[in-house]
Structure 1
Amino acid sequence: MGKNRQLKEAKVSEIKEKMEKAQGIIFAQYQGLTVEEDTVLRSKLREAGVEYKVYKNTLTTLAAKELGLGEIESVLQGPLSVAFGYEDPTAPARILNDFAKDHKKLELKGGIVQGEIFDVDKVKQLATIPPKEVLIAKLLGSFKAPLSNLAYLLNAIKENKESEEA
């Protein structure tokens, strides 16, 4: 077997492994970004725990087909970057979408979230979902508010009875 073929097979298995591990994968066309813009984008993604790579579309397609995600092939056209979100499936979409608002050269193309293929519109909808920590905080806040109100009410009743007895 040729050395070139071995390298390609190793790259396909690397991509496949990342795709299996990732909860959210977003594909974006990056052509036209300056080095400075790309550096800023990579920094933001890294801070959020998102891995950002550029792979050949043919190798990415082979990896996707091995995972039963061959339908993503229609998205894999032209020079694309791939953002892998391992912890938060919404993080890659959110960061890339926010960055694309200020940098028109970056264009979202689609993605795979928890094994489901997303078109551009679904990716943009996904980008509007707040981070997991924010959602948990909101949920806990919604639990806490009624309990706090109940505590205040019981305390007011107690104080009212004490003032009547005095």
Structure 2
Amino acid sequence: MERAEKREVVSALHDVFAKTGVVVVAHYAGLSVADMTKLRSDMRSAGGRVKVAKNRLVKLALEGTDAKGIADLLKGPTCLAFSDDPMAAPKVAVKFARGNEKFVILGGAMGATVLDAKAVSSLAELPSLDELRSKLIGLIQAPASKIARTLNEPGAQLARLFAAYGSKEAAA
């Protein structure tokens, strides 16, 4: 890799660390190409990306960013999984790690907060932003729908009562 390419990689990674919501660091030694491709595909479908770069270049890119605390995790063959949504990358990484013992999550960063492997797993168990929004909308709509059902119920009971009397008279 030439110097210009290295500068380009460092600046791209610096932008990633400065702009993304969460970064997960993991060891990937022993993963097959098919497994790594599946991880990249799963991460892409969740709105994230997976990047493999030299640890020295990643450490250079970390300088001046909030995520500089993860520099200690960069030992051995590591890959970075990141996403704008703080839940997407941890969810995909933890799910992939459960199915693949060679993929070991070391930790990560969410803003200036450095996360260990347990914190990344805990973050993965939280509902996503879309799930939280749908639950909130459901909670907001629930009282209105209950009021509408309560107001409509007496009319529905009368209609059933008249239908029962009508069928009773028709049978007689």
User: Same fold by TM-score, threshold 0.5 exceeded?
Assistant: yes
Matched, 1:14 2:22: no
Deviation at 1:66, TM superposition (A): 2.0
Match for residue 52 of structure 1 among 50, 53, 56: 50
Partner of 1:105: 102
Question: Are the aligned partners of 1:89 and 1:114 in contact in 2 as well (CA < 8 Å)?
Answer: no
Partner of 1:130: 127
SS in 1 for 2:63: helix
Separation (CA, whole Å) in 1 of partners of 2:7 and 2:23: 21
Partner of 1:85: 83
Separation (CA, whole Å) in 1 of partners of 2:83 and 2:54: 19
Of 67-76 and 12-21, the range deviating more from structure 2: 67-76
Q: Structure 1, residues 77-103: CA drift from partner, whole Å, max 9, x if none?
A: 1111111202x1110100010011111
Partner of 1:144: 141
Partner of 2:72: 74
Distance 1:103 1:139, change over 3 A: same
Deviation at 1:19, TM superposition (A): 1.2
Structure 2 counterpart of 1:43, which letter?
S
Deviation at 1:65, TM superposition (A): 2.1
Separation (CA, whole Å) in 1 of partners of 2:156 and 2:39: 57
Structure 2 counterpart of 1:97, which letter?
V
Structure 2 counterpart of 1:10, which letter?
E
Distance 1:152 1:71, change over 3 A: same
Please say which structure displays the higher CA radius of gyration.
2
Identity, % of aligned pairs?
Answer: 33
In the alignment, structure 1 segments of 5+ residues that lack a partner are none
Structure 2 counterpart of 1:132, which letter?
L
Of 61-70 and 74-83, the range deviating more from structure 2: 61-70
Of 4-13 and 76-85, the range deviating more from structure 2: 4-13
Of 104-113 and 68-77, the range deviating more from structure 2: 68-77
SS in 2 for 1:73: helix
TM-score by length of 1: 0.85
